[in-house]
Amino acid sequence: MKHMIKAVMIVASLCATGLFEVRAYADDVSAKGSTMAGEVPANGIHAGDVLVRLRAISIEPEVHTSGTLSSLGVGVNNALVPELDLTYMIRDAIGIELILGTSRHHVTSGLGDLGGVNVLPPTLLLQYHFNHAGMIRPYVGAGVNYTYFYNDGLSAGSEGIQVSRSSFGPAVQAGVDVQITKTVFLNADIKKIWMHTDASVGGSSLGRLDIDPLVLGIGVGMKF
């Protein structure tokens, strides 16, 4: 619930900011008496448009474990990192988005810090954009992610912990774009991504670690 409240607050803040900017722009154009089409933001997105967004994201794992990992009380810390995504509009209201980003997380347990691991989860989503011709455009998406675990240095005492290198899982998202000029817009986004890895020591399984983060993002984008 606290995550959903946080996401709603982010989206509401962006909408309010976007409306303020749009109104200020419209008032400025009206005051100048301009009627040139080139000075008025071209509303909306359409088939063939490419949207590029840069966000700051908070990755908040929702950890579930099995086997020995459960008895050890294993957890994964949050991370704050940049994220880049590219959306190609195949129809006026339908787009395909590729999300790119990487993060490093520390794995903890009742024994202390077990070390860190890098996570690279490229995600492909099919999106539906509501009000595609407007200046405030909510959207939803669903798709799949491939997660690659690398640069890990996990250990329990003197024993090194091995993790499986990759996993596939579903992903869903919801967000909103708020247009402020012809090509620039603000963005707020929330995603749920399912990812997991299996851990072992000396060939003996320790169980499965489901990370399944909620990803909260806020940023800017450009339309091409």
Structural domains of the chain sorted by starting position, each given as residue range(s) with its CATH number in brackets: 2-223 (2.40.160.20)
Q: Is 32 exposed, middle or buried (0-12, 13-18, 19+ CB in 10 A)?
A: exposed
Give pLDDT, residue 13.
55
Distance CA 39, CA 47 (A): 23
For 96-138, write each residue's pLDDT tens digit.
999 999 999 999 988 788 899 999 999 999 999 999 999 999 9
Note if the pTM is more than 0.85: no
Distance CA 136, CA 177 (A): 6
Say whether pLDDT at 27 is over 80: no
Query: Where is average pLDDT lowest: 27-41, 115-129, 133-147?
Result: 27-41
Average pLDDT over residues 20-28: 48
Give pLDDT, residue 25.
46
Give pLDDT, residue 2.
52
Distance of CA 87 to the CA centre of its chain: 13
For 52-107, write each residue's pLDDT tens digit.
999 999 999 999 999 999 988 999 999 999 999 999 999 999 999 999 999 999 99
